[in-house]
Chains A and B, each alone.
Chain A
């Protein structure tokens, strides 16, 4: 079973988390940690790039639910991008597209923050 990795970078004052591998109950705490860190350093504009995310379980989805409320309270958002069809299907089944903005491309998501900002 391949592991789970997170790479973090900043583009135009937007924090981008790149997820790679399997996000399940075992690896979810890693993502939680990353979100907690962003929130404590008051970074609320978050884009999660799922390009290399090969699997997400319900526990993985729960992580997004745990932080979205706080992020939005602080005029920020979590936007999801670059999902493989398989991963998108998991999000879609649960109705996540109703709750999160999901983009094909990371740049699009980042731009969306500035449209709103203006």
Chain B
């Protein structure tokens, strides 16, 4: 007894977390030990001295009941640390039961019946019998408490209102039955006690129908529970027999009638309960697999719905979808194909390991697979042939192939490479169309049933949403990136244009350039070639956007470098062509108009390379000056050089030169274009004004013409007004 105590203390010592809990445990266990020791002392004294106090039995029983209650609370206080599942508890209890059984059997068959019965009382003949009786009683008492607690926990699993009530009634009956024997001598029988016992057993049976914990066990656990239940049932039958007969029975009755009653009742309850558990598990076993699957389906679907928000990594998403497909239908292998919208093809092509199959108008890409290789998929569903894939694409509903080996849709020599019995093909259909196709296979034929198909379909719906979301996010990220790129190019382009206009006493200059979209292809610039001469350039790069900005920067570099080296416009054009033609894309070209003005004499030299002609508004000439010349980047150097002409104009005070891009002449209103005549008229109408005003008025004419709609093309205007010597601006 003392040894048991020490062990129990050792057990509690290292578990302590809270001081008060520890104190309570020590108090309860210590209290119980003291009570047991008192009882033992009483027994020893009684052995030597014949005490005939009538109330002594009652006091003794009260002490033992107190000890039992204290031990019960001691275990209750241990509860928070022990959170094992039901099956594990059953296993532990089985071990305890077997130990108890062994002890019981040994005692029953080996120990001598050392009791003398007299006047319904049992009197131990020797100290050994006294010791043994105490030991067995304490052991069975503790065991009964453990059984009671376990059965209580199992019964209360997923409890309902009635459950708690029924168990409470049983507990009350248990206590009352035990308590009713408090004044009885060990061999006395009382009818009321028997009735109470019977009632308690009835409620034990009622409580034994509470077995809902079995339902939630996995198949594996159910098998364990079945085995445990069987052996527990058997062990308890023997235990109950032992408890009702022989030395054990007498020892318990001698030690304490109420304790004996408590142990008996609890063991009967245990016997019924574990018997019921065994039978119930047996009935649950055939559906265990289905239950397991439903559980994993539910958890997989739940996981996938969580995944819908985690769509930044497409590869991860694909991996999850395929892994979960294997889980939900217990497939052997599975793979996922994504259908790309036609406009997305070029962007997706650089996905790692991409292989595209084109079926009808669909571009299909195998993105993820589990337990199957790309080659095997290709062998099963060869590209360019009519396969179940095409069938699914057409019908947009799941297709089950029950027997791949004998199915006509699969060619014999090809399917032999892949050991696939049955196949299910599910299309991923979103509101905007087909998103992908999910395939799952099993080894054996005829293995996919309707509920498998239902589950995969439900799963496919979730996957569709996830993939769609992933795509949407990708698109919006891409758009954001493009916008940023455009803004960068726009910024760069702004810096390519001159930040200030050159200032001359003899000259008025103003210029404007407005891109149609974020980035345009228009360019204008000025360079002081020397202290007298000014270079003026206006250009237009074919195409728009970033590539146009790139060419523009090249033109600017060439202009800034070459204009000073080759003062003749024609020569400049030839060298510029030479420099540009190597780097320019064959479907792009650049048109330039380049003029060199002597700011002291008013002599203007002009060359044109495919660009709009210069408008000259002069006293003796109003019209366009159009020296021949083809665009840069259109042909080889020789043809280009031969095409370029140079034209010289002598400006007089008040003359206006206007350089512009086709955005001006091609500004549209419906089918109508602003055109050369309107440009000329608009300029002539304001020819007396300052260059800045002319620029403003002409621009206003264009805008009025287009009814202030957003310009379709880039628009650039450079106005030069010659004032001549001695004239102030």
Contacts and interface: CB of A to CB of B under 8 A. Distances in A.
Contact of B639 (A65, A93, A98): A98
A99 B630 contact: yes
A16 to B, nearest CB: 22
Interface string B521-564: 10000000000000000001011100000000000000000000
Interface residues of B, number: 28
B664 interface: no
A61 B542 contact: yes
Given A2-B671, A61-B542, A65-B634, A95 B586 contact: no
Contacts of B612: 93
B634 to A, nearest CB: 6
Nearest to A64: B587
B634 A95 contact: yes
A95 B631 contact: yes
B419 interface: no
Q: Give the interface centre of B521, B630, B639 by most chain A CB atoms within 10 Å.
A: B630
B630 A58 contact: no
Interface in A50-100: 54-55, 57-59, 61-63, 65-66, 69, 86, 90, 93-96, 98-99
Contacts of B629: 95
B678 to A, nearest CB: 14
Given A59-B543, A61-B542, A95-B630, A66 B610 contact: no
Contacts of A25: 543-544
A90 B540 CA distance: 13
A50 to B, nearest CB: 16
Interface in B561-595: 586-589, 591
A94 B630 CA distance: 5
Contacts of B521: 58
A10 to B, nearest CB: 26
Contacts of B643: 95, 98
Contact of B610 (A55, A86, A94): A94
A99 B542 CA distance: 17
B544 to A, nearest CB: 7
Contacts of A61: 542, 589
A66 B586 contact: yes
B628 interface: yes
A53 to B, nearest CB: 13
Main secondary structure on B side of the interface with A:
loop
A96 B540 CA distance: 16
A99 B613 CA distance: 20
Nearest to B588: A62
Contacts, number: 63
B7 to A, nearest CB: 88
B611 interface: yes
A23 to B, nearest CB: 13
A69 B468 CA distance: 44
Q: Give the interface centre of A58, A69, A90, A98 by most chain B CB atoms within 10 Å.
A: A58
Main secondary structure on A side of the interface with B:
helix
B639 A94 contact: no
Nearest to B639: A98
Interface string B686-729: 00000000000000000000000000010000000000000000
Contact of B586 (A59, A65, A93, A94): A65
B544 A94 contact: no
B634 A99 contact: yes
Q: Give the interface centre of B542, B543, B591 by most chain A CB atoms within 10 Å.
A: B542
Interface in B652-683: 662, 666, 671, 673
A62 B671 CA distance: 23
B164 interface: no
A95 B628 contact: yes
B8 to A, nearest CB: 87
Contacts of A55: 666, 673
B117 interface: no
B611 A93 contact: yes
A63 to B, nearest CB: 7
B295 interface: no
A27 B662 CA distance: 18
Contacts of A93: 591, 610-613
Contacts of B611: 93
Contact of A94 (B613, B631, B666): B631
B635 interface: yes
Interface string A35-60: 00000000000000000001101110
A54 B671 contact: yes
B709 to A, nearest CB: 11
Contacts of B634: 65, 94-96, 99
A62 to B, nearest CB: 4
A98 B673 CA distance: 26
A63 B589 CA distance: 11
B630 A98 contact: yes
A57 B544 CA distance: 12
A65 B586 CA distance: 6
Contacts of B586: 65-66, 69
B635 A99 contact: yes
B542 A59 contact: yes
A84 to B, nearest CB: 12
Given A57-B713, A58-B543, A94 B591 contact: yes
Nearest to A95: B630
Contacts of B666: 55, 57
A9 B119 CA distance: 129
Contacts of A66: 586-587
A50 B563 CA distance: 39
B109 to A, nearest CB: 100
Contacts of B673: 55, 86
B29 to A, nearest CB: 89
Contact of A63 (B544, B587, B630): B587
Contacts of A99: 630, 634-635, 639
A62 B542 contact: yes
A71 B591 CA distance: 24
Q: Give the interface centre of A55, A95, A96 by most chain B CB atoms within 10 Å.
A: A95
Q: Give the interface centre of B521, B610, B629, B634 by most chain A CB atoms within 10 Å.
A: B634
B543 to A, nearest CB: 6
Contacts of B544: 25
9 contacts: A57-B713, A59-B542, A65-B587, A86-B673, A90-B662, A94-B610, A95-B631, A99-B634, A99-B635
Going nearest first, the 9 A-B pairs with the smallest beta carbon separation are A95-B630, A58-B542, A66-B587, A62-B587, A94-B610, A94-B631, A65-B587, A62-B542, A95-B643
Given A57-B666, A98-B630, A99-B639, 14 more contacts: A57-B713, A59-B542, A61-B589, A65-B587, A66-B586, A69-B586, A86-B673, A90-B662, A93-B591, A93-B612, A95-B630, A95-B643, A98-B635, A99-B635
